[in-house]
Amino acid sequence: MRIAFAECGSCLVASLEGETFTHADAKDYGALFEQVLQTLRPGRTLVLDLSRVDYMRSSGLGAILHLLDQVKALPARLVIASHPTLSKNLFSIAELPRLVALYPSVEEAVRAASAGGPAEAGGTA
């Protein structure tokens, strides 16, 4: 699992690159998300791009929830651009859409964040 950063308008896009986000990747979560927190500035929006992640276990979801807490403490906002399967399955079961806005693409997430769109509970697009 790798992470790539891109500036897109007022957002920092962090794209996870790898087909899975499982317990085997857990040792990398801390290092990955530390890079995110070092790059993200207070008041900005982080778009976590999971569009290239086809599979995620609950440990990956736990890592995202931990990242959400850290991002809020900056303070900053987190929105997620997600693979459709993740949104329908794991994220829905875990009720993640109540905590963070989910978008079907990075472009839609950036557009909504730039327009001051939802980034909190109920922000699912």
- What CATH number does residue 90 fall under? 3.30.750.24
Q: Which domain holds residue 11?
A: 2-114
Facing residues of 85 across strands? none
Residue-wise pLDDT for 105-122, tens only, equals 999 999 999 887 665 544
Q: Is residue 19 part of a domain?
A: yes
pLDDT of residue 105: 94
Residue bearing tokens 């994220």: 91
Q: Is residue 120 part of a domain?
A: no
Integer CA distances (angstroms), 96 to 2, 6, 18, 52, 70, in order = 23, 24, 21, 18, 16
Total number of domains in the chain: 1
pLDDT of residue 111: 94
Q: Is residue 124 part of a domain?
A: no
Q: Is residue 22 part of a domain?
A: yes
ω into residue 75 within 30 of 0, thus cis? yes
Q: Is residue 68 part of a domain?
A: yes
Q: Is residue 42 part of a domain?
A: yes
Residue-wise pLDDT for 37-88, tens only, equals 888 999 999 999 998 887 777 777 888 888 899 999 999 999 999 877 766 6
Q: Is residue 119 part of a domain?
A: no
Q: What is the pTM of this model?
A: 0.83
Q: Is residue 122 part of a domain?
A: no
